[in-house]
Amino acid sequence: MIKARVTVTLKNGVLDPQGKAIEGALGALDFSGVASVRQGKVFDLELEGADRSKAEADLKAMCEKLLANTVIENYQVELA
């Protein structure tokens, strides 16, 4: 079994209203010095088999086809 983590984040230049709202709420909690917050998503996957290069290729395909919307999002794949 291969464990993997996929992180999906908004591309630079894409407005993130939710990140902005979180940034504001952190300020309201008196956390000073938070210059910016960008919200993203994390997916933890368990893949059957032991072929790490196949797993990596499959995960990239999953990101391209479903997990990320590459119009607005970047993704990063990490194998444990």
Q: Which residues bind another protein (CB under 8 A)?
A: 13-15, 17-18, 21, 65-67, 69, 71-72
Q: Closest approach of Cβ 40 to another protein, in Å?
A: 12
**Nearest-CA neighbor of 9 among 68, 79, 71?**
68
Closer residue to another protein, CB minimum distance, 21 or 57:
21
What order do you get walking across the sheet with 40-47 strand by strand? 40-47, 2-10, 73-79
Considering beta carbons, is residue 1 or 42 the nearer one to another protein? 42
Q: Rounded to 10 degrees, what is the CA torsion of 44, 72, 65, 59? A: -40
Nearest approach in angstroms of CB 52 to another protein is: 26
Closest approach of another protein to the CB of residue 68, in Å: 9
